[in-house]
Structure 1
Amino acid sequence: MNLPLEDIKILDLSRIYAGPAGSMILGDLGANVIRIESPKGTDSMRDWSPFVEGESTYYLSANRNKSSVTINLKSETGRLLFLDLVKSADVVLENYKTGTLDRLGIGYETLTQQNPKIILCSVTGYGQTGPFSNEPGFDPVIQAISGLMDVTGSAEGDPTRVGVPVVDIYSSLYAAISILTALRVRDKGGEGQHIDISLLDVQISSLANIASSYLMSGYISKRLGNQHNNVVPYQVFQCSDRPMMIAVGNDKQFNKFCEVLNRPEWLSDDKFRFNSSRVENRDELTEQIQPIFLTKSADEWFQILSTNGIPSGPVNNIEQAFKHPQVKARKMVEEVPHPTLGKVKLVRNPIRFSNTPMTIRKHPPLLGEHTVSFLQEELKLDMNEIERLQSEGVI
């Protein structure tokens, strides 16, 4: 069955997570994604533990459905080799510091001379313009600068980094969305273009209700741990065995919640009847709710609350999450062959099409695994020429 992007070729110069995760999404959709790496290896993600027989599990998480070709872009021969590849490519994705491509002689203007329809997507910490444009961008630093850390963590504790690289993850999604949009524009008769994705822009845009509360009312949201600034009760409660998240999102659900907990008096109490008053009196209500949840296990409470339409769920560790019956039913883990590890378990793409099912067609590639075959097929180089390039450190 044809995949949506199988006619799209992407030269992926990106490293770490935000760029590679974005190109992985496009690879899942069928695009021919070719990682362009230094012969010595430049992606520090390959060096991050834990390892399985020498392979970084971090690297494995963001590089399925790709090939790997090594080219030394700092050499003139390597630069020209790359520009030859640009002629037949649709997209170049990169996340070097601002200005690096120009210094390497492969900036946007140079790329368009080779291919006027090329789309260049640049993912940087702070964008191509502005006083911070030359600063390096790293997920936890952006979490700090954007205000995300200040609203994450307990009220009494320190500002807290989110446990996964959310800024990188969000940025990878915007990179994929923007590339798809640019392809659509080009297909309708337009030219290629340069896409400027900034991690800081992405995270500022992802502040959602926190941003709106400040911009519209001047309210600066506070760090409340697992509680919600605008909704009560919407937090973690400790059950007899482990914690549980309760998300009572509106007054109708709160009415049912009172019924389930056998506390009808809360419905006639002006301090608790409506969400606005519950927000003002959250501590008093929380103190009354918590002892009730200690009387049953998290699983017992989930069954009761779920039956009554109240959103809730036990706080799982990672092992429990992957053993969750819904995760298993949705087959979110797929095993694929790997040249050195035998098989690797990878998390599947969450997009489900009715007519174009996606699979993991390629394992995360070894460094330079496809260099020889790719140059033979794409540039029609013979083995003598390839061996010469290898001996000169170009590939």
Structure 2
Amino acid sequence: MIITTMGPLTGVKVIEIAHWLVAPYCANMLSDLGAEVIKIEPLSGDQVRSSGSYFKNGESYLFAAYNHGKQSISLNLKDPDGLGIARDLCRGADVVLENYRPGTCERLGLGYESLRRLNPGLVYCSISAFGDTPGYAHRPGMDPIVQGMGGAMSVTGEPGGKPVLVGIPVADNSTAYIAFGAICGALLERERTGKGQRIQLNLIDTMVFNLSTRFGQYIASGKPPSAMGSQHAEVVPYQAFPTANGWLMAGAQSDRAWAVFCEAIGRPELASHPDYETNRLRVKNRETLSGLLNGVFAQKPTEDWCAIFAERNVLHGPIWNVEELVNSDLIREHGLIEKVDHAVFGKLPVIRTPIAYSESEVKIQGPPPLLGEHTLDILRKLGRSEDEISDLIARKVVYAKPGQAGDYAVQVPGSDTA
């Protein structure tokens, strides 16, 4: 079967008015599925361009991690001409994606009610930290704050220990995934009705949605669940075990699997032990069983245990760090990490959206953009004349990346923010 080189969202135009992670991460996925994504940045750029500690010649590796395949136009949205350009872009868009604090885009003239009058078919997705709730709406909120408020830190870490931040931005990432699905759903509904609509999401609601089994525990017991370290809250054994040279994650997801597990570790008598015969008993006696199993696993290196468990189809996996993961034969085979040509970073590895279609292609459309890299091309496509463009640059209404502006006197970025 021949897979078309077009993505399922080819022909969809997305305007991203956002910074940091959640909305740009969602737009990154839309781009990989074929959408044309134009990122509107202030003259100083997306805030993450100047954040963190990993840079090369002024370019941020953090920004590059989730902004590939986009075009960048740099505008002063507080200037009427800059705002006019942004509104022109939204007039011809299918999707607008923004994650500023509630009310910010409305004040700028880029809110949903204003834009829908220009473009009735527009799908407009707003993402905030806490929604529109009085007392919370205008509070600054980012992933670590929402992890703390959203219950994740209370159930992460060792039992009785201090609250621990999850090592990846789960509030941002999870909300980006939901936004991705919500936008695709709204585009599908527009095909049926011809009408656009507004989507509203917030990080704290996503964290409630993420509670999953922890919510079930709370409802059943009436008590807030606590941190369990690497152990599963409801299945024993299902945890990280120290081996002779590292760590192994392994478990028995049923009583039948427990019997196979015991055979594999050379302790078949544990399967019928009166304290461990059923999962309910193992949960009750997890502390003594865990200590016993730790002693068993410490006798062999991780790779030996993996070979033993693989032969018997026991639930297991080595605990990899990021380097081990991305360089594993598993991930190389999946082809998720591709290299793109970047003007500063050279051959830059980036992560493709992990979706595979039978009939269409998901692919990285290009490198992360430099600030204002596509300003001139976008303005020309909007019908702005060369004299108009030169004037906009001179008045610092727009910023165009040096080297892309021909004979224009390109201005360095200012300090305005949306």
TM bracket, shorter-chain basis:
over 0.9
Contact 2:8–2:361 (Cα < 8 Å) also in 1: no
Contact 1:37–1:68 (Cα < 8 Å) also in 2: yes
Contact 2:48–2:60 (Cα < 8 Å) also in 1: no
Is 1:388 matched up with 2:377?
no
Name the aligned partner's letter for residue 6 of structure 1: T
Cα distance, 1:186 vs. partner? 1.0
Q: Which residue of 263, 272, 278 corresponds with 1:259?
A: 263
Which residue pairs with 1:194 in the alignment? Answer: 198
Cα distance, 1:161 vs. partner? 0.4
**TM-score between both structures, scaled by the size of structure 1:** 0.97
Cα distance, 1:370 vs. partner? 0.2
Q: Secondary structure at the match of 2:360?
A: coil
Q: Secondary structure at the match of 2:250?
A: strand
Contact 2:34–2:363 (Cα < 8 Å) also in 1: no
Gaps of at least 5 residues in structure 1 are none
Is 1:35 matched up with 2:77?
no
Q: Which residue of 86, 89, 94 corresponds with 1:90?
A: 94
Please give the residue correspondences for 1:335-354 in structure 2 after superposition, counting only pairs within 5 Å: 335-354=339-358
Cα distance, 1:217 vs. partner? 3.6
**Structure-2 separation of matches of 1:146 and 1:67:** 34
Name the aligned partner's letter for residue 267 of structure 1: A
**Structure-2 separation of matches of 1:38 and 1:112:** 23
Contact 1:238–1:290 (Cα < 8 Å) also in 2: yes
Seq. identity, %: 35
**Structure 1, residues 233-254: CA drift from partner, whole Å, max 9, x if none?**
1111110000111122111111
**Structure-2 separation of matches of 1:319 and 1:193:** 42
**Structure-1 separation of matches of 2:330 and 2:395:** 53
Name the aligned partner's letter for residue 390 of structure 1: I
Gaps of at least 5 residues in structure 2 are 399-418
Is 1:203 matched up with 2:207?
yes
**Structure-2 separation of matches of 1:323 and 1:66:** 26
Contact 1:46–1:58 (Cα < 8 Å) also in 2: no
Q: Secondary structure at the match of 1:353?
A: coil
Cα distance, 1:137 vs. partner? 1.8
Is 1:309 matched up with 2:313?
yes
Is 1:166 matched up with 2:170?
yes
Which residue pairs with 1:229 in the alignment? Answer: 233
Cα distance, 1:123 vs. partner? 0.7
Q: Which moved further from structure 2: 323-332 or 125-134? A: 125-134
Q: Which residue of 117, 133, 137 corresponds with 2:137?
A: 133
Q: Which residue of 145, 150, 161 corresponds with 2:149?
A: 145
Which residue pairs with 1:51 in the alignment? Answer: 55
Cα distance, 1:46 vs. partner? 4.2
**Structure-2 separation of matches of 1:316 and 1:32:** 35
Contact 1:27–1:33 (Cα < 8 Å) also in 2: yes
Report 1 or 2 for greater relative contact order, CA contacts < 8 Å, sequence distance ≥ 6: 2
Contact 1:9–1:31 (Cα < 8 Å) also in 2: yes
Please give the residue correspondences for 1:228-307 in structure 2 after superposition, counting only pairs within 5 Å: 228-307=232-311
**Structure-1 separation of matches of 2:305 and 2:38:** 49
**TM-score between both structures, scaled by the size of structure 2:** 0.92
**Structure-2 separation of matches of 1:373 and 1:247:** 55
Which residue pairs with 1:4 in the alignment? Answer: 8
Contact 2:154–2:163 (Cα < 8 Å) also in 1: yes
Which residue pairs with 2:127 in the alignment? Answer: 123
**Structure 1, residues 164-186: CA drift from partner, whole Å, max 9, x if none?**
11111001101111111111111
Cα distance, 1:219 vs. partner? 3.8
Cα distance, 1:130 vs. partner? 4.7
Cα distance, 1:162 vs. partner? 0.5
**Structure-2 separation of matches of 1:348 and 1:145:** 31
Q: Secondary structure at the match of 1:202?
A: helix
**Structure 1, residues 116-151: CA drift from partner, whole Å, max 9, x if none?**
111111110011345412222210111110111000
Q: Which moved further from structure 2: 260-269 or 10-19? A: 260-269
Is 1:77 matched up with 2:81?
yes
* Aligned residue pairs, count: 394
**Structure-2 separation of matches of 1:196 and 1:247:** 39
Q: Which moved further from structure 2: 115-124 or 263-272? A: 263-272
Which residue pairs with 1:26 in the alignment? Answer: 30
**Structure-1 separation of matches of 2:128 and 2:65:** 21
Cα distance, 1:42 vs. partner? 3.7
**Structure-2 separation of matches of 1:44 and 1:262:** 52
Which residue pairs with 1:329 in the alignment? Answer: 333
Q: Secondary structure at the match of 2:182?
A: helix
**Structure 1, residues 234-291: CA drift from partner, whole Å, max 9, x if none?**
1111100001111221111111011112222222222101111100000111111111
Cα distance, 1:44 vs. partner? 2.7
Cα distance, 1:101 vs. partner? 1.1
Cα distance, 1:29 vs. partner? 0.4
Decide whether aligned partners of structure 1 residues 219 and 306 sit closer, same or farther in structure 2, where only a CA change above 3 A counts. Answer: farther
Contact 1:124–1:136 (Cα < 8 Å) also in 2: no
**Structure-1 separation of matches of 2:46 and 2:245:** 46
